Amino acid sequence: MKKIIEKILEDSLKVKEAFIRENIPNLILLAEKVALAFTADRKLLLCGNGGSAADAQHIAAEFVNRFTLERPPLPAIALTTDTSIITSIGNDYSFEEVFSKQVKALGMEGDVLLAISTSGNSKNLLLAVKDAKRQGIHTVGLLGKDGGKLAGMVDMALVVKADNTARIQEAHILAGHILCHLVDYILFQRHLSDE
């Protein structure tokens, strides 16, 4: 079993390192975009399915509560948390619309939508991105494998080029933590640093 653990660790580190190194410019750009949205009284919307729904909630919590820095709450909303909204839309319309209807109701021009998907092909995320773009919302995909259909739809695609879902999710949450750290730095620490 020790070898199993060591192999998982080795694979995880390789996937995360390759993904982060390839996406350093995109992560900086995304942090700047989110920071700009926050300073313009706009917000970050996040969505995903399954483990990616949990990642959306995790990242939103880091912004609303705090990450590592004591600072004011920042406006991030996970569209995966309101079971009454999700089940009523799923029941009355379809599961494909659970995020797009929330984007239409809550989103506004200047917001940022972060769609998280290990496959890049979730129909409810595709529809949410489509409607977000119509509203002037900047769309970002935190994706896996080859990026799927979402990679060609979003304004910015950050793709973990791996096939193992667990390794993709591990890279996604690292990217989420880097995003939180960078946004905090831009908004609250940059003026204290010499860069």
Residues 65 and 44: their CA atoms lie apart, in Å, by 14
* Token digits of residue 128: 């949410």
Pairing of strands 112-117, 138-144: parallel
Q: Give, for all 195 residues of the chain, the pLDDT tens digit.
A: 999 999 999 999 999 999 999 999 999 999 999 999 999 999 999 999 999 999 999 999 999 999 999 999 999 999 999 999 999 999 999 999 999 999 999 999 999 999 999 999 999 999 999 999 999 999 999 999 999 999 999 999 999 999 999 999 999 999 999 999 999 999 998 755 544
Residues 80 and 137: their CA atoms lie apart, in Å, by 18
Q: Which residue has the tokens 């193992």?
A: 164
Q: Mind listing the domains of the chain with CATH numbers?
A: 2-190 (3.40.50.10490)
> Looking at the DSSP assignment, which residues form a beta bridge with residue 159?
143
Residues 105 and 62: their CA atoms lie apart, in Å, by 23
